[in-house]
Amino acid sequence: MAMLPRPFDIAALVELLSDAPIVTILGARQVGKTTLARALAPHFPEVHHFDLEDPEDLARLAVPKQALSPLRGLIVIDEVQRQPELFPLLRVLADRIEPGARFLLLGSASLDLVRGASESLAGRVAFMELGGFGLADVGVESSQTLWLRGGLPRAFLARDDASSYRWRGDYIQSVLERDLPALGLRLPADAMRRFWTMLAHYHGQAWNGSELGRAMGVPDAKVRQHLDVLVGTFLVRRLEPWFTNDAKRVVKSPKVYVADTGLLHRLLQLRTHADLTAHPKVGASWEGFCIEAIARRLGARRDELWTWGLHSGAELDLFAKRGTQRLGFEVKLTDAPRVTPSMRSALAALKLDRLYVVHAGAHSFPMEDGIQALALSRLLVDLEPW
């Protein structure tokens, strides 16, 4: 399979590594973390790679302090969630490290899921979240394939739709049977699969834990825990609700999205474009696809993105806020977007600098004061990164 270079991610990573003694790349399984780390080799005089899922590498790290302290150059510790015991040592090494030695940690679970990680590394670590391929990697001319198959490199680059579909099935299985249990989370694989599949049916909707709990026959708290696991392993995006002044009228549920549309489509058993366009979730799927694309284009962290809605009906798919910048996005799978009263309410209530109506047509154009139609095909041209 051909390699797709990821120059933007490499540049971002090199910059982070020039500032911080420890950089952590977090992202779902198979998004390309290890491959990206290996692509850094030309930027460092020497590179040491330890994969904590490889028994030989584990043996080399049997006495971690002895193994790690003399090393210089780039020291990569892969699948770091496997050994949270290493974090206190890394912290010590980071504090006394000589210039010229850098740690790059790769992990497929957020640090909240890994016991003790956040505390030991606080303040010393720069983070980068890596997703699969995005529009900038594959080019907008491939956006239909990216939408159907998703951005996991192997799924996107597969020979044809059928083999991509098969690969995604195997991926889901190995996450359920191998990766989640390896995090020490005792969750039965079949219950977790049912839950993930139900989430696919809720994709783009307000999260209703009690309803899912009833459907699965488990308590709300358990359902919440399942959700935290899928969010923490970057498989599901949860948009928390933004509270405006009229808190009583604000819808308080988060919205959930299966983060990768390829996995969404596999869970919904949509094999082809024809399957996808005939399915009732096609609009929600496209919405999730656009939200990922926007998040990536802006360079927004997860905690900079929100959803917003009022019980009276006004709502906004995505509210992106950094410092004083406030952008709104409403996603419509149409090529003739129109301004709605709900958009005007969102513009005013959230004091947006601008509201973009992201649509499937060919052109971006102003619609009215503060509201702009943004063609997804023009996203990389018409939306400025933060």
Ligand X SMILES: Nc1ncnc2c1ncn2[C@@H]1O[C@H](COP(=O)(O)OP(=O)(O)O)[C@@H](O)[C@H]1O
Residues that bind ligand X (CB under 6 A): 1, 3-4, 6, 27, 29-35, 153-154, 157
154 makes contact, choosing from Mg ion, ligand X, none, with CB < 5 to 8 Å by partner type, with: ligand X
* Cβ nearer to Mg ion, comparing 33 with 226: 33
Structure tokens at 187: 């969750």
153 versus 309: smaller Cβ distance to ligand X:
153
Q: How far is the CB of 253 from Mg ion (least distance, A)?
A: 34
**CB 233 to Mg ion: min, Å:** 13
At closest approach, how far in Å is the CB of 190 from ligand X?
24
- Our CB check for ligand X shows the closer of 4 and 58 to be 4
Handedness of CA 276, 279, 285, 287 (dihedral sign): positive
In the complex with ligand X, the residue whose CB is nearer, 30 or 307, is: 30
| Minimal distance, residue 12 CB to ligand X, in Å | 14
Beta carbon of residue 143, minimum distance to ligand X (angstroms, whole number): 17
The least distance separating Mg ion from the CB of residue 53, rounded to whole angstroms, comes to 8
| Residue 329 Cβ vs ligand X, minimum distance, rounded to whole Å | 27
Q: In the complex, what is the shortest distance from the CB of residue 381 to ligand X, in angstroms, rounded to a whole number? A: 23
State which residue, 3 or 247, has the beta carbon closest to ligand X.
3
Instruction: Find, among 297, 320, 359, the residue nearest to 136 by Cα.
Output: 297
Nearer to ligand X, 31 or 316 (CB): 31
Q: How far is the CB of 156 from ligand X (least distance, A)?
A: 9
Residue 34 binds to Mg ion (criterion: CB under 5 A) = yes
Using CA atoms, how far apart are residues 338 and 334, in angstroms rounded to an integer? 10
SS (H, E, C) the chain: CCCCCCHHHHHHHHHHHHHCCEEEEECCCCCCHHHHHHCCHHHCCCEEEEECCCHHHHHHCCCHHHHHCCCCEEEEEECHHHCCCHHHHHHHHHHHCCCCEEEEEEECCCCCCCCCHHHHHCCCEEEEECCCCCHHHHCHHHHHHHHHHCCCHHHHHCCCHHHHHHHHHHHHHHHHHHHHHHCCCCCCHHHHHHHHHHHHHHCCEECCHHHHHHHHCCCHHHHHHHHHHHHHCCCEEEEEECCCCCHHHECCCCEEEECCHHHHHHHCCCCCHHHHHHCCCHHHHHHHHHHHHHHHHHCCCHHHEEEEEECCCCEEEEEEEECCEEEEEEEECCCCCCCCHHHHHHHHHCCCCEEEEEECCCCCEEEECCEEEEEHHHHHHHCCCC
Tokens found for residue 358: 């992201």
User: Between residues 167 and 329, which has the closer beta carbon with respect to ligand X?
Assistant: 167
* Nearer CB in complex with ligand X: 13/383: 13
Q: Which is nearer to Mg ion, 37 or 223 (CB)?
A: 37
Q: Which residues bind Mg ion (CB under 5 A)?
A: 33-34
